[in-house]
């Protein structure tokens, strides 16, 4: 028998998915490579995606941490988005004591928060469950993502 988390995961997997692509090896080696981990692990924790505006971004999950960062592909020294998640048995979520997904004001509404959630779903292989602490912008994203009424 399927539990509600599996049903939700199947439904949301059909929608709201970011198309990720591999990042050039030079970028990985020169800026993100962690020597304690294999090349494959490093590559799996770093992907690129194109925002709604056409801008190219790099998303990186810090290995052995629940932190995800987003950078403009043209400026990989300054993160413009950040997410921290709490992984549970059947899902992952934001922390209840602080906003878990943050995007620089200049880059909002370009699909960055959605990409952070989508990438975390790939890394954790679990669905996202929103926390109770959501900014007004995140409330809108969640309403759209889960097709909720106002």
Quote the pLDDT of residue 14: 52
Higher pLDDT among residues 86 and 31, named by residue: 86
pTM exceeds cut of 0.75: yes
Tell me the C-alpha distance between 59 and 53, whole Å: 16
Q: How many CA atoms are closer than 13 Å to the CA of 86, on its beta-carbon side?
A: 11
Is the pLDDT score of 33 beyond 90?
no
pLDDT in tens, 100-121: 899 999 999 999 999 999 999 9
Residue 10, pLDDT > 60, answer no
Spatial neighbors of 4 by CB under 8 A, at least 6 apart, are none
Residue 78: pLDDT over 70: yes
Whole-angstrom Cα distance, residue 121 to residue 83?
13
CATH class as words, domain 4-145: alpha beta
Indicate the average pLDDT of the chain: 85
Q: What is the largest CA-CA distance in the chain?
A: 48
CB contact at 8 A, 73 and 24: no
- Between 123 and 37, the higher pLDDT residue: 123
Assigned token pair, 106? 């200049």
């Amino acid at each position: 028998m399927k539990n509600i988390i599996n049903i939700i995961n199947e439904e949301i997997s059909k929608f709201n998915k970011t198309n990720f692509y591999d990042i050039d090896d030079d970028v990985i080696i020169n800026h993100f490579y962690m020597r304690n981990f294999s090349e494959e692990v490093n590559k799996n924790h770093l992907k690129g995606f194109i925002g709604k505006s056409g801008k190219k971004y790099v998303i990186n999950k810090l290995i052995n941490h629940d932190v995800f960062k987003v950078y403009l592909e043209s400026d990989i020294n300054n993160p413009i988005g950040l997410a921290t998640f709490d992984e549970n048995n059947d899902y992952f979520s934001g922390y209840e004591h602080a906003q878990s997904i943050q995007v620089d004001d200049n880059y909002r509404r370009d699909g960055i928060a959605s990409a952070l959630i989508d990438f975390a779903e790939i890394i954790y292989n679990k669905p996202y469950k929103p926390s109770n602490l959501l900014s007004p912008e995140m409330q809108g994203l969640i309403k759209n993502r889960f097709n909720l009424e106002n």
